Each structure stands twice: as C-alpha cells, then as structure tokens.
Amino acid sequence: MDAQKTGSKYALIIGLPASFALCLMALPLSHFYPFAYILRLASLKIFWNPLAWLVIAITVVLSLWQNGKAISPLLKKHDVLKTSFYFTFFVNLKLMLVTAAIYFAGIFYDWIFNVREIFLPAIPYSIISMLGFFALLTGVLSVTISLMIVNFTRGKIEVNNNASASEVTPIEVNKE
C-alpha cells in the first residue's frame, strides 16, 4: 500500500471516532455555566445549527485525509513527536478557519436578516475563546490521538519497506 494512503487510512480510522467523541463531549459541556456564558457572550449560537455541524464534519474528514497524506513525508524529515504536532496543528488550523468562517457568517446573517445590532465587544471574546480551544486541542491531541496515528503509520510503512526490501534482494546461486 502506498505510504500516503496508509497515513490517510490511519488518520480516518483513528481520527474520526476521536473527533466524534470530542463533539459528543462538547454538547454536554456547553450546558455548564462557564461554557454557556462564553457561548452566549461570544454569540456562538450559530453552532447549534445542523448545517454548521455538517460543514464541520465534512471539514474534519477532508482535513484528516489530506493531512494524513503528509505524515509519510514528514516522518522522513522529522521525529515522531514533531510529525504528530504538525499533523494536529494543520488539522486543527483548517477546522478553526472553517469554524471562524461559520461564526462570522452567522454574525453577518444575524445582522442582515434579523436586523439585530452586532454586539461588537463579543467578537474579541469569541476570537480569544476559539484561539484558546485551538491551542488546548493542538497541545492535547498532539501527544494522544495524533501520536497514535503517526506511530501506526510509521509502523506500517516500516513493515512495508522491510517486506519490499526482502523481495528485491537477489539470491546468489553457485554454478559449480
């Protein structure tokens, strides 16, 4: 199997259930007062729209697949932990950019169609909360889920390389 496909395969096999579990944890956590306060203050109510969750889910799948292809080339240049960090950083970066786009689209929609005044002081709080969650998730996932994805990918690549190296080695025959 191609090394790039191996990284993408393990990224989806391990990353999708982990992403699903994080989403399931986010829903009940949003009812605790500190999180509910941040959501209300930052006007993040757009995230309870099913279309927003569908866009986020598609982004997660595509980002895991695309960045999974980069694991093999990154392993050739960097160690496992650095590769894990890069993988997590780029997956989370794409997810954060989509999340920010949904947020600003929600603010724009609320301003145009509901004729509400934009609560401008909430925008810095929302950006700070998004960046805070981005930093927290990148740090935690780099040493947990992503490290597992990178280790499985590295192990599969090494097994495939060893198997192909043993197949290529010619056998010497004595003609005496």
pLDDT tens profile 128-163: 877 888 888 888 888 889 999 999 999 888 887 776
Q: Looking at the domain assignment, is residue 52 inside a domain?
A: yes
Supply the DSSP symbol for 79: -
Quote the pLDDT of residue 164.
67
Q: Looking at the domain assignment, is residue 89 inside a domain?
A: yes
Those residues whose C-beta lies under 8 Å from the C-beta of residue 73, and which sit 6 or more positions away, are: none
**Mean pLDDT score, 13-23:** 88
How do residues 94-105 score in pLDDT, each as one tens digit? Answer: 988 998 888 888
Q: Is a pLDDT exceeding 60 seen at residue 1?
A: no
Dihedral-angle region of residue 172 (phi above 0 means left; psi in -120 to 50 means alpha; beta otherwise):
beta
Those residues whose C-beta lies under 8 Å from the C-beta of residue 70, and which sit 6 or more positions away, are: 7, 86, 87, 90
Q: Looking at the domain assignment, is residue 92 inside a domain?
A: yes
Q: Looking at the domain assignment, is residue 159 inside a domain?
A: no
Neighbours of 63 (CB within 10 A): 21
**Mean pLDDT score, 8-27:** 86
pTM score of the predicted model: 0.79
Q: How many domains does the chain have?
A: 1
Q: Looking at the domain assignment, is residue 41 inside a domain?
A: yes
133: tokens are 């969650």
Q: Looking at the domain assignment, is residue 169 inside a domain?
A: no
Q: Looking at the domain assignment, is residue 129 inside a domain?
A: yes
**Mean pLDDT score, 15-34:** 80
Q: Confidence band (pLDDT; 50, 70, 90) for 66?
A: very high
Which of these ranges, 7-11, 78-82, 124-128, has the smallest mean pLDDT? 124-128
Quote the pLDDT of residue 45.
64
- Do 87 and 14 touch, CB atoms closer than 8 A? no
**Mean pLDDT score, 115-127:** 69
Q: Looking at the domain assignment, is residue 55 inside a domain?
A: yes
Q: Is a pLDDT exceeding 90 seen at residue 61?
A: yes
Domain encompassing residue 102: 3-154
